[in-house]
Each structure stands twice: as C-alpha cells, then as structure tokens.
Structure 1
Amino acid sequence: MASGKINVSVENIFPLIKKFLYNDHEIFLRELVSNATDATLKLKHLTSIGEAKVEYGNPIIEVKIDKEGKKLHIIDQGLGMTSDEVEKYINQVAFSGAEEFLEKYKDSAKDSGIIGHFGLGFYSAFMVAEKVELITKSYKDEPAAHWTCDGSPEFTLIPSDKTTRGTEIILHIAEDSLDFLEEYKIKELLNKYNKFMPIAIKFGTKKQSLPKPEDAADDYVAEEIEVDNIINNPNPAWTKQPADLTDEDYKTFYHELYPMQFEEPLFNIHLNVDYPFNLTGILYFPKMSNDMQMQKDKIQMYQNQVFVTDNVEGIVPEFLGMLKGVIDSPDIPLNVSRSGLQADSNVKKISNYITRKVADKLKALFTENREDFEKKWNDIKIVLEYGMLSEPKFYEKAGSFILYPTVDNKYYILNELKEAIKDNQTDKNGKLVVLYASNKDAQHSYIAAAKDKGYQVLLLDSPIISHLIQKLEGDNENLTFVRVDGDSIEKLIEKDEVQISKLSDDETEKLKTVLETLVPKPTYNVQLEAMDSNASPFIITQPEFMRRMKEMSQSGGGGMFGMGNMPEMYNLVVNSNSELATTILNTTDKSTQEHLVKQALDLAKISQGLLKGEDLTAFVKRSFELIK
C-alpha cells in the first residue's frame, strides 16, 4: 500500500476546483467522459502503430448510476494506467497526460482525435463528489491499481483485483449534488455534452425486438431482448467528407441536432479545413424572421466532438450567429474568457475563414441556380444584409449575390439594377435614383403612381435596411435611395416634365396661407406643387433624410447618431393643379373650407397609416355623414 500527499502547488486544490475552475458543476461529466474517450483513442492509436500488443476490439464507455449507494460510475475500456502512471497523472495535478502523449507521438498522432486540452478534467469530479475512487488496469502486463481520495490532499493507492483493461471512476456523490443520481439528469447531460463523442457511450439498456422468422405464423409475437442503450452518434455528419453525404444525410443530421425543428433547412455549408488551423462543421440556413435577437445562439461549438458552448460570439462572425449548425475545432480553447477568445489569433483566423467560406458558397448557389436562390431570398436576406453591415470581408464579396427585389418580384444584383434604371431614373445631378417601398400594401398608391411613370420600385423591408442604404450610398457616389412615399418623386427624377401651375403666383400664395392656417404645425410642412391634374390632390411624404435617421435610431442606430426619439415631421404636398385645390381656394365659407382641408388631410394620412385613435373615429363618423 502506498500513501502520501497529492503534489499540488496550492495548499488545497479542491475548493479552488469546486468554486472557480468551472462556472457550471455539470461540466464534470463532460470532462470525465472526455478523459475516457481520450484513453480509448490513445489505445486505438498505439495498436494501429503496433506499440500496444493487444486487441483493440469495439470498446465502449459506460455510465452507470447506483442510486441506493449514491454512486456514479464512468467505465472505459481504454489503455488504463499502472500504479506509477496514477502517481504521475493523477497525483501531479494539472499535468496533462494527453498533452504529454501528443508530444511523444506528435507526428503519428496528428489525426487520432485525442482531446489533450483537459488538464484538470479529472479533478472536476470533486465538484459533485465527496469521495472519488479510480480503479484502473493498464494494457501493459502490470497489476491493476485502486486510488481513493476524500476531497482532501490525502490519497491512498493500493493494488486492485481488476482483470480487464481500462479505467473505472466511482464518484460518491455529495449531499448537495444528489440530483446527479437521477437518470433524467445524467441522460440530459450526456445528450448535451457527449451526443457526438467518437466512442460509443452506453447508458442503461433498452428492449429490442428480434427479426420475425420467414416461416412465422401470422399471430407471431416478436421476442424482445435487452441490448446496450448507446446514446451517442460517434460518427456525426460533420466528421465525414462532403462527397460522402447526400442532401438527405444533411437533413437527417439537422433534425438530429434540432429534434424539435420541423421545418427543413434551406441549404447548408460544409466547412472542412486543416490549414492553417483545424476546423470542421456544417452550417444550416433556416428560414429567418426579422427578429435578429430571437435567432441567436443556435450554433453548437465542439472541440473534438465534445460540446463546449452554444454561445459562439467572437468565434463565428456575428451575422452568422443567426444560423444553425455545428462547428468543431481543436484549436479553440475550452475554458477561457470571451475577451481571451477575441484576442486569440486562431479564433480570428477561424472567424475570417468562415466568413469567406460562406460568401463563396452563396456565390456558387447564386451562379448554379439563380432561380432557386431568388426563391429563397426572403428567407435569408436578413442574415446577408446584416453581414454586409457588420463584416467588411463579407461586404467585399456580397455584390455578386446580394439581391434587390422589385415590388413585381423581379430580382437584380446591384450592377444589374444600375443598368436597369440608368436611362429612366436620374436626378438633376446625374445620380441614379433608386425608388423603394418598405411595405407593399401600405404604400400601394405611391407604388402605383411611380409605376405609372415607368419607374422601377424595389421592395426593401428588412428592419436594418436604412443602415444598409446609408452604406451603399457612401460606397456608390452616383447612387441615391428614396422611399417611394418620401420626398416628391417629381422633384427628383430628371425626366419628369415640369408642370405649369394653373394658379397665379398670388393665388398660390393665398392657397398656401389658407392651408398653413388649417394644417397642424410643426408636424406638417405645407408644399404646393404643380402636378398632373389627375395626381392625388393631397400627398403626405417624409423628408428622406429625417425618415431614415428616425428608422436607424429605432433599429439600433440611436446611440450611433445621437438622435434618440426624433419628432414626427412630414411634408404635405398639395397638387395646385387639382380641382380640390381650386375648390379650397375659392370657397368663401370658412367652415366648409376647413372641412374640405381636414377631410383631404385625413385621407392622405390614411394612405400613410397615420390616422389613428380619436382622429380615425372622427373621420369615419364624418365620412358617414357625407354619404347620407
């Protein structure tokens, strides 16, 4: 029998482990199952190079609950340890056996999948256990060893009668952690952290029906047998080559990742790189809503098939955080602060690579089947538009596949759009004027008026479109965007004929004075314009700059521009060539004149969705009176 003190650099490592090493106590199971996986993969590697003269077989890892004895067992069939190795790897805390193994076999072990980053992982057991036993037998022909520690620096190490290769860890669960003896809890943790571990994990048994014999009678009842309940998938899709997977394989894996997700993904991007860092994974584009916050934290981060986190901020470009899928890289540290991740050179390279890979895939999808890409545009646009705003490298590539749809469901990329409007939509300074709507139904009358003049009208309705427009205008000096119900189109498009006013200058001034007396200030700025006599008599527009600033402040730009809550300001554009304008001007009865202005203003408000509450009620009542 041997006894002694564990070699630690602090007086007592265990309170440190329990309180500070990991934020969440449930991590202990991830660490211990990962260590068992390590031991198994090491043995696989040593047998493959002929250094271990044993039969590798089909080893599994078993997790068992002994609720009555208040014990949790983690059992592997890996390479095990000798007594000397227990002294070295268990008693010398933080001396990582996996790291030493990788150093020794660094050339041949390159692709063996050994985790090698867990270090203190074994001691995480003391976060939930008041005593830990380790019974282990090495693949070498040496006696088994039995190590015991009660959570103090004291340990015992004695010979064991274990005859089979591998290691069993027995956790005597502490009173404050008895929930880890519940079957549902352990199953939940194994599914969360170890669902895709590369070694099969057994947790209990399940019943399985035997195949029906060919000569069985019609009333044959299949015999059931107990079989191991393997709860993980050791060979998930992302570990395979894209050439070996079908579209159906990708969809099946998507539903394995997200069992409660019933909609199919639109398409996927398979990531696979081994230089200058290791990274594999599959990203899925699901159908997107306009609520960006609701979409986040759907990508799962793994390290050598061990689940790490679903908060991938700093690793995955922010705009792709709205996607779903999995990323696996041994080059991302497991337990490190977010600021540490952001400063990590490998993490920056990985983020840049993912951005480039996604952009390349999108371009390929657009080029190979533009029609299909256009059909999916409304379901993915929020991600790509956000990417253009937040990732310069993505913005550089996006011009070849970002679409600008019209209200008539025609799709342009930016260069095509410029070509389509260059002869018909330029302002007096030679700039191309891009007209767009943000709500096809609410702005229908404005859209119809623009289309009557032969203009193209885009439908840009995402919540961040004002920010994107600002950026596009900054990078394209000859381009200006104007919402179709914004500043009067007649002022902007050079080809519009200049209408001659039917009113004299004096009449125009008189009419403006009447209107300014009756129209609420400062919300509405009255403007008289000579338009076609068939055009709407009263039109409400909003100055493009003011409207855009207000939209940006509402969608997250308030702090950027210092706008806060901007006041509502509109233009009331009155067509001085309309019959209504002449009627208002020539009406001598002030009450009738006021009634006409108020009714016309309310009709213009309705077209902009601005008539609400008491004003709407009064308008409806007044309208019924008119048709009696």
Structure 2
Amino acid sequence: MQKQGTLSINSENIFPIIKKWLYSDHDIFMRELISNGCDAITKLKKLDMMGEYSIPEDNQFKIRVVVNSKDKTIKFIDNGIGMTAQELDEYINQIAFSGAQAFLEKYKDKTNEDQIIGHFGLGFYSAFMVADRVAIDTLSWQDGAAAVHWESEEGTSFEMADSQKSEVGTEITLYLNEDSYEFSNEYRAREIIEKYCAFMPVEIYLEDEAAEPQYETIEKDDLKETDEIVETVVEEAKTEEKENEDGTKETVEISPRTEKYKINKRPVPLNDTTPLWNKHPNECTEEEYKEFYRKVFMDFKEPLFWIHLNMDYPFNLKGILYFPKINMEYESIEGTIKLYNNQVFIADNIKEVIPEFLMLLKGVIDCPDLPLNVSRSALQNDGFVKKISDYISKKVADKLSGMCKTDRENYEKYWDDINPFIKFGCLKDEKFAEKMNDYILFKNLDGKYLTLKDCLEENEKEHKNQVFYVTDEKEQGQYIHMFREAGIDAVILKHNIDTPFISHLEMKNKDVKFVRIDADLTDAFKSEETGDEEKVKKQSEELTALFKKALNNENLSVQVEHLKNDKIASMMTMSEEGRRMQEMMKMYSMYGMDPSMFGGKDGENLVLNLNHPLVQYLAEHQDGGHTTTICEQLYDLAQLGHGTLSPEQMTKFISRSNEIMLLLAK
C-alpha cells in the first residue's frame, strides 16, 4: 500500500496553531501521547468485555516510553486497539488537517459529546511542537487487518505505506527538533511523566535505549518465565573442618551450593494505576491516606485529617482534601489542589473549580465531567463548573460540622490549626459561612472551647451581647489579670484573619459586639465609692492638665477613675473603633496607599487610678520637684502594660528608671 498527500489547505495547516495557541507548555505533548495510548487500551478492554475481541492470557497492558539521547528520538508504544489504514487516514489525515479556520471553529469551544479530548486525533498533533518528523506504526485488532506506517516531515506532507509491525497496538516515533533534544533525556522524561501521568490507569514504563544495560541477581524461586537469564551465578558449598570429642576430624558443610541468576533489571511502572481517591473511603486505611499525602505533596509532617470526596450524581467527582499542620509563625498558608480529569493531571489550583479558601489545603480532585477546551488548559461552561465548586465547599462544611457534632474532642484538638482555613472560608463563601456558623469555636482564657452562643451566655448578665477578646497574652497580661480578678471571661483571637472575621460576625449577628479587653474599662473594675464628686471632678481636670504639660502633648486623652485594684497606678486603653481603624490604616500603608485618606485618630486613652497613692500624690502635689518625672514614668509604664515602647521611648525610660533608683538610694 502506498499513499501520499499534502497536509495543508489554502496554505494553512495545523502546526502554527498547535505551537502558538493550543499548547502553551511544550512538555505537555508527553501527557497527550501517553493519554492516547491509555484510551487505545481502554477501548480494547471494552471490546473484550463485549465479546468482540479476546485478550490473550499472557497479555500485560502497558505503555512504553522509549527515549534515545543519542538518536534524539522518543517512542510511545501501546498494545491497545490499533488502527486500520482507513482509520489512520480518517483520524490523522482528515480530522486535524482541515485548515486552521475550520479547526478553530469546530473545536475551540467544544463542550458536548463530540468533544475530541481523549480521541487519538487531536492530542497526537502536540507531537509537532517538539518534533520535525513523526512516524506511526500501527496494527488494528480487527481480523485480517494489515499493519500501516504513516510519516510526516516538517508538517507539510505525509506518506502512508505497509508496516512490519506484528503486534496489535500503536508505536509513535518522534524525531526531535533541535530545540527539544532535552526530552530524549531519561531524567527529563521521567520528570514529565511523574508530573502529568502519575495516576494514569495503565502502567507506564520508561526505557533508555542509549543507556548501558542494568542487571539484578535473583534467587531461583524468584525467577519468572518472562525473565531473560544473562548469566548463572554459582556459589559453591562452604565447608569447615570440625574436631570431634574423640579427637577425630571431619569436614562439615556450613552452607549449601546455590545457583543465582543474573537477569536484565525488571522495569518498574512510574505510575499508580489505582490512586487512593478511586477507592471507597471504607477501603482506605489511615496509613494509606498518610502515605499518599507524603508521596504526592512531599510533605513529611502528618496532616491533621482529611476529607474523602466521592460523588457520582449529578456529576462524577472523587478526591481527597487534606488539612495540613502549619506553623503559623514561620510558614505561609499556601496549599496545592491538584486537578485531574480521568486520572490525567490538568493543573494546580484552578480557581474556577476549587473554592478560593480551600486552596489553602492540599489535595487532589478528579472530575471526569470537567468541560475542558481542546488543550485541557481552560474550562468552559461556567455554570456547571460553579456547581462543582459549590459541591466541594458543601462537602467540606458537612465534614467539619459533622466532626464538631460527633467527635468534638478531636475537633477541638484540631481547632487551633484549622481555624484560619475555616474563617477564611466564612469570609469568602456565604453558603459555607451559614453552614459553619454554629461550629466556630473560641478558646477562652482557661483553654476551654466555646461557640459564639456559649460566649454570649457567659457574659449575659453584666455584658450582654459583648464578647471580650485577647490578641496577645503577653502584651495584654495586665488586663487579663484584671479580667480574671473580676470574674469576666475573654477569648483568644491572635491570627491576622481574626480582625476581618469578627467584623464579619458582627455584620451577620447584629446584636453581637467584639471588644478587646484593653478597649475600655468596664464598671466591674471601678470602685463604687468615689468620694466627693466635685472634688473628684476638680482633681480629674487638674491631673489632665498636669499630664498634658509634663508630656508636652495637648491632644493627650486622660481618664481619671477610682479602680478597685489599688496596685495599678496607670494603664492605657484604646477604643475598639480607633484600634480597628489603626489596623486598617497599617494594612493599607503596606500596599502603598496613603493611610490619612481614611481619617481617624489613634484612640489611645491614659487611665489614672485615684485609688493609687502615687496618683493621689500627684493630685495633691502638682508643683512637686519630681512631678514631671513621675508623669513621664506613669505614662511609659502604661504604654509598656499595653504593648511596647519605641526605641527612643525605651532609651528615655531606662535612663529615667536609673535616676529614680538613685533617688531612692540616697
């Protein structure tokens, strides 16, 4: 059989489109050609199941990728369905070579049953991204079919002829172009196969024709019929001379004569044909989940827990999502969700399919129903894809809420690690937030975990609808001590995400107000006996003026109170609104925006306790010799109790403290 032809219509052909539009990453040709081989094998298996073909008993379905760095070639060999001359002519010569315009119109946005993804035709042409010449040798499964050879050089013409191929299947040979020699390197080929084909459903073997043969030595019992014996290795029996009790000597065998066999090293498939996500959750062990996590993500810290997705209606979707353990202080929260289509890797973190907040997790999702474009690089049909995203979000919420209801102990154990994920999800996904509303936990000062409802009930009497919180247990230690003494509870919220999250909760729950424990003084801290009101008012005005003058700050806000705790002379508070505005200003300044455009004041307020002797001294001796020093010291001590001093303030504070100690020493 001889046939020749040109591969262009109106001077247009497929190759410029393949190279410039269809596939942006050239290494993807390997995924396409291996995937075609998998399809060919799957079709042959179906014919066997239908009784139209009988697979030989000793047959092992596999795909061989054979690289040759000397010849600069790659071969893709499958033992699948094969093609007749007519099929090869139809799939290769007619479908793709219909001209650039027709090609684009026919396949660019195809999403129906006729989509060509996975068919032999289109994926095959990715080979021309890396090869100047491509050859096909194929033999169809059909009785009496003749083997066919097809070849095209530089994408301008083709030749078809008889082939010498004797086994059913297809062999594609790529003669690489000068820019693509790297792909004939065994290690580069291995890297690409492990990237795109790690879970394809047919075993994939990589061979290097240019490499020296590698051998292994095995025992006789381990020898298989398929092994080719290169050399028989005989180990003679070992003996030693032993002296008997009567003084005679004899030779004793200490190890028998053995035969071992040197054989060509057995190839090992590079892929896992039955990935864990394809199994039913009941069939998977805890160790299997952990091993899969280590293997796929190269993360050797054990995940906290995982969610196994398994759905077949209204669309097919399987997967495993892992909640990783993250050191929030030193690691960024950045996950990886790998997306597969029929066990073929598509991409990482496709935001249309994966809800944004779940991209903080690590996991795999396989959705055979994904409406992909011809290059599998973009998604079509936004409505359908949105349903997939919503389903994934729902399953995660179901898992978390179910764990909180039925396994509260473990849920609490994981909470410190997983709460940033959940809070981010609530901020980004309204439906997720609604489902999780009753399962958000808050850790109180005693380490007890409470729901929002629990928190409100704790403070129901004196501080109705208020939730007090701590952001830094060290910096706010003084206030925590006061709260404990007053019997008032607070929760710990120290992640960056907590500020927007509590604002979100306040919007969702109109009566709830979150207040940081250093925001204001509650009545529980104030003494009921304050003395003469007129006198207190006068002292308050005088102390305010005194501190403004001593600190040279006319804008200083001073609040004079009688506190129950007479050990505290001064402290600092900041209004909740002022502090949140300050944090927002800091955030915007990080992005190069002018914080002054948001207005707002710093909101700091110096509280002086008239029940403390030092404040009483200042009230009664405003013209004393050390008044300014005492005012400065009380202000800095209040600042230290509220946070930290600037380097300049700290220098002055230390110097002043030394001066005060010298005065005491005299």
User: Fold-level match, TM-score > 0.5?
Assistant: yes
The residue that corresponds to 2:609 in the other structure is: 575
Q: 2: distance between equivalents of 1:287 and 1:499?
A: 52
Q: Which among 389, 396, 401 is matched to residue 351 of structure 1?
A: 389
SS for the counterpart of 2:310 is strand
Q: 2: distance between equivalents of 1:447 and 1:583?
A: 27
AA matched with 2:118: G
Deviation at 1:208, TM superposition (A): 5.5
Q: Which moved further from structure 2: 6-15 or 55-64?
A: 6-15
Deviation at 1:213, TM superposition (A): 6.8
Q: 2: distance between equivalents of 1:520 and 1:437?
A: 31
1:398-455 CA distances to partner (integer Å, 9 max, x unpaired)? Answer: 12321111121100112222222212423xxxxx211100111221111111111111
Q: 2: distance between equivalents of 1:393 and 1:54?
A: 51
The residue that corresponds to 2:358 in the other structure is: 320
1:177–1:499 distance in 2 versus 1, CA, 3 Å:
farther
Q: 2: distance between equivalents of 1:341 and 1:212?
A: 54
Q: 1: distance between equivalents of 2:141 and 2:128?
A: 27
SS for the counterpart of 1:440 is coil
Q: 1: distance between equivalents of 2:117 and 2:20?
A: 24
The residue that corresponds to 1:464 in the other structure is: 497
Establish whether residue 455 from structure 1 lines up as the match of residue 481 from structure 2.
no
Deviation at 1:15, TM superposition (A): 1.6
SS for the counterpart of 1:449 is helix
SS for the counterpart of 2:332 is helix
Establish whether residue 156 from structure 1 lines up as the match of residue 159 from structure 2.
yes
Establish whether residue 194 from structure 1 lines up as the match of residue 233 from structure 2.
no
Map 1:165-564 → 2, pairs under 5 A: 165-204=168-207, 210=218, 217=255, 225=263, 226-259=265-298, 261-290=299-328, 294-335=332-373, 341=379, 344-426=382-464, 432-490=465-523, 498-500=528-530, 503-519=535-551, 521=553, 524-532=556-564, 534=566, 536-554=568-586
1:526, 1:572 within 8 Å by CA — same for their partners in 2?
yes
% identical aligned pairs: 39
1:375–1:563 distance in 2 versus 1, CA, 3 Å:
farther
SS for the counterpart of 1:90 is helix
1:207-235 CA distances to partner (integer Å, 9 max, x unpaired)? Answer: 66636979994998976641012111000
1:521–1:342 distance in 2 versus 1, CA, 3 Å:
farther
1:312–1:203 distance in 2 versus 1, CA, 3 Å:
same
AA matched with 1:452: E
Q: Which moved further from structure 2: 361-370 or 5-14?
A: 5-14
SS for the counterpart of 1:228 is coil
SS for the counterpart of 1:351 is helix
1:41-64 CA distances to partner (integer Å, 9 max, x unpaired)? Answer: 111112111123443832100111
1:164-204 CA distances to partner (integer Å, 9 max, x unpaired)? Answer: 01111111111011111211111110010000111000013
Q: Which moved further from structure 2: 523-532 or 239-248?
A: 523-532
The residue that corresponds to 2:42 in the other structure is: 41
AA matched with 1:133: A
2:128, 2:155 within 8 Å by CA — same for their partners in 1?
no
Deviation at 1:328, TM superposition (A): 0.6
1:514-545 CA distances to partner (integer Å, 9 max, x unpaired)? Answer: 11223354774222223225152211111101
Establish whether residue 83 from structure 1 lines up as the match of residue 85 from structure 2.
yes
AA matched with 1:79: I
Q: 2: distance between equivalents of 1:526 and 1:148?
A: 89
Deviation at 1:460, TM superposition (A): 0.8
1:371–1:524 distance in 2 versus 1, CA, 3 Å:
farther
1:423–1:331 distance in 2 versus 1, CA, 3 Å:
same
Map 1:117-132 → 2, pairs under 5 A: 120-132=122-134
AA matched with 1:458: V
SS for the counterpart of 2:466 is strand
Deviation at 1:116, TM superposition (A): 3.1
The residue that corresponds to 2:24 in the other structure is: 23
1:436–1:269 distance in 2 versus 1, CA, 3 Å:
same
Q: Rg: which structure is higher? A: 2
Q: 2: distance between equivalents of 1:340 and 1:79?
A: 29
Q: 2: distance between equivalents of 1:221 and 1:167?
A: 40
Q: 2: distance between equivalents of 1:338 and 1:79?
A: 24
AA matched with 2:295: E
1:204, 1:229 within 8 Å by CA — same for their partners in 2?
no
1:280–1:144 distance in 2 versus 1, CA, 3 Å:
same
SS for the counterpart of 1:2 is strand
Where structure 2 has 5 or more consecutive residues not aligned to the other structure, the ranges are 97-102, 209-213, 223-236, 238-253
2:201, 2:274 within 8 Å by CA — same for their partners in 1?
yes
2:556, 2:605 within 8 Å by CA — same for their partners in 1?
yes
Q: Which moved further from structure 2: 314-323 or 604-613?
A: 604-613
1:534, 1:578 within 8 Å by CA — same for their partners in 2?
yes
Where structure 1 has 5 or more consecutive residues not aligned to the other structure, the ranges are 107-113, 427-431
Q: 1: distance between equivalents of 2:439 and 2:119?
A: 40
Q: Which moved further from structure 2: 263-272 or 360-369?
A: 360-369
The residue that corresponds to 1:5 in the other structure is: 6
Q: 2: distance between equivalents of 1:554 and 1:419?
A: 34
1:7, 1:92 within 8 Å by CA — same for their partners in 2?
no
The residue that corresponds to 2:137 in the other structure is: 135
Deviation at 1:506, TM superposition (A): 1.9
Deviation at 1:549, TM superposition (A): 2.8
Q: 2: distance between equivalents of 1:115 and 1:17?
A: 14
Deviation at 1:304, TM superposition (A): 0.7
1:67–1:20 distance in 2 versus 1, CA, 3 Å:
same
Establish whether residue 611 from structure 1 lines up as the match of residue 614 from structure 2.
no
1:501, 1:577 within 8 Å by CA — same for their partners in 2?
no
Q: Which moved further from structure 2: 24-33 or 333-342?
A: 333-342
AA matched with 1:184: Y
1:312-349 CA distances to partner (integer Å, 9 max, x unpaired)? Answer: 21211111100001001122244589997486122100
Deviation at 1:82, TM superposition (A): 0.7
Q: Which moved further from structure 2: 170-179 or 284-293?
A: 284-293
Q: Which moved further from structure 2: 454-463 or 307-316?
A: 307-316
SS for the counterpart of 1:384 is helix
Q: 2: distance between equivalents of 1:338 and 1:477?
A: 46
1:497–1:58 distance in 2 versus 1, CA, 3 Å:
farther
The residue that corresponds to 2:147 in the other structure is: 144
1:211–1:619 distance in 2 versus 1, CA, 3 Å:
farther
1:436–1:337 distance in 2 versus 1, CA, 3 Å:
farther
2:77, 2:170 within 8 Å by CA — same for their partners in 1?
yes
SS for the counterpart of 1:230 is coil
Q: 1: distance between equivalents of 2:134 and 2:377?
A: 34
Q: 1: distance between equivalents of 2:11 and 2:320?
A: 43
1:525–1:9 distance in 2 versus 1, CA, 3 Å:
farther
Deviation at 1:498, TM superposition (A): 4.4
1:4, 1:154 within 8 Å by CA — same for their partners in 2?
yes
The residue that corresponds to 1:110 in the other structure is: none
1:157–1:520 distance in 2 versus 1, CA, 3 Å:
farther
1:62, 1:76 within 8 Å by CA — same for their partners in 2?
yes
